Amino acid sequence: MKAIILVGGYGTRLRPLTLSYPKPLVEFCNKAMVMHQIEALARVSVTEVILAVSYQPHVMDDFLQREQKKLGIKITVSRETEPMGTAGPIKLAQPLLDDNEPFFVLNSDVTCDYPFAEMIAAHQRHGGKATILLTKVDEPSKFGIVLYEPETMRVRAFREKPTEWVGNMANAGAYLLSPSVLDYMELRPMSIEREVFPALAADGVLYAHELSGYWADIGQPKDYLRGMSLHLQSLRLRGSAELAAGPAFIGNVLVDPSAVVGKDCRIGPDVVVGAGCIIEDGVRIKSSTLLPGSRVKSHTWISTSIIGWGCTIGSWVRIENTSVLGEDVAIKDEVCVNGGIVLPHKSVSEHILEPRIVM
């Protein structure tokens, strides 16, 4: 079995992090975003993953060559020369797919418990052409809502961001498609959500599968942090030994073994500390991610923020309110950063007291 991951383009929603690396290679919970999906696919015996890429494919190639050897899974890059939407890249990759076997399609921005084995069983059971994963959402008006028959799980229709109640089950960005679905696609910029799925539903061959675990779109900072919290809680529920334990840690915290945490720190809940990070004495961090190689000096406070690769945070600094620091940012001692977006390789010596971009 094979799979396609729709990587897409520039990752503008996650800047400034994606100014340094393509979005799929940005670490999420101490692992490149795309590797969470690839590892889950490998667990259900997917033998080849095709990444549909239109931005920095050479950077992706170097990384994936290393990773495929570790996992024993083939990783291929399908390059778009122009943006092709969400169905065009699938049609473009058709020569790389098997003619007689269904394949997965995933949105690279999505994190969840990945019920791939259950999707395969459901696809075989209903005998349709496509299975779409659904997740329950709290605010249906922000999503495309899927209407389906609960008894058969056959999809009847779609409602894009409805203003009135029609349901609360949304497209979760993961699909299992039979090869015949490719006949519904054309080699042009095309939307699988707006063009292909409605046609499949009209023909009565599109079925739904409900996700029972967590789900998040992690394509922008606020949602990235929310997804981090949900992923850490999922590790807790599974009894994962990866979570940190000890007097310095509160709640769900993930710390790379190479990171160093000083004395009298309080880390957590919902914190990820990346490889090679150094946290000096008396630091308080909650609801935040430190990407690899960052250093946080003594008595600093960090809350609901993302600290990029190789940053240096001074002493007695306060960073909060979904601040995002790009790669190699320096924050001087006793500076407050409130909702700041700081581009890579910048030095900040004055307070940022309201959300703004520092260029």
| pLDDT at position 345 over 90 | yes
Strands 215-217 and 110-112: antiparallel
Owner of token pair 């509160």 = 250
Q: What is the pLDDT of residue 59?
A: 67
- Host H or E run for residue 273: strand 271-273
Widest CA span in the chain: 63
First to last CA, the chain: 46
Mind listing the pLDDT tens digit for each residue in 172-203? 999 999 999 999 998 898 999 889 999 999 99
Q: Which of 161, 263, 286, 297 is catalytic?
A: 161
| pLDDT at position 55 over 70 | no
| pLDDT at position 109 over 90 | no
AA identity, residue 290: L
Q: Which of 69-78, 265-274, 300-309 has the lowest mean pLDDT?
A: 69-78
Mind listing the pLDDT tens digit for each residue in 144-172? 889 988 889 999 988 888 778 888 899 89
Q: What is the pLDDT of residue 318?
A: 97
Q: Which of 50-54, 282-286, 336-340 has the lowest mean pLDDT?
A: 50-54
Nearest to 104 by CA among 44, 33, 55, 152: 44
- Host H or E run for residue 259: none
Whether 286 is catalytic: no
Strands 110-112 and 2-8: unpaired
Q: Pick the residue with more confidence: 205 or 100?
A: 205
Mind listing the pLDDT tens digit for each residue in 24-51? 889 999 998 888 999 899 899 888 898 8
**52 touches 80 (CB < 8 A):** yes
**Domains with residue ranges and CATH for the chain:** 2-217 (3.90.550.10), 234-357 (2.160.10)
pLDDT band at 58 (very low <50, low <70, confident <90, very high): low
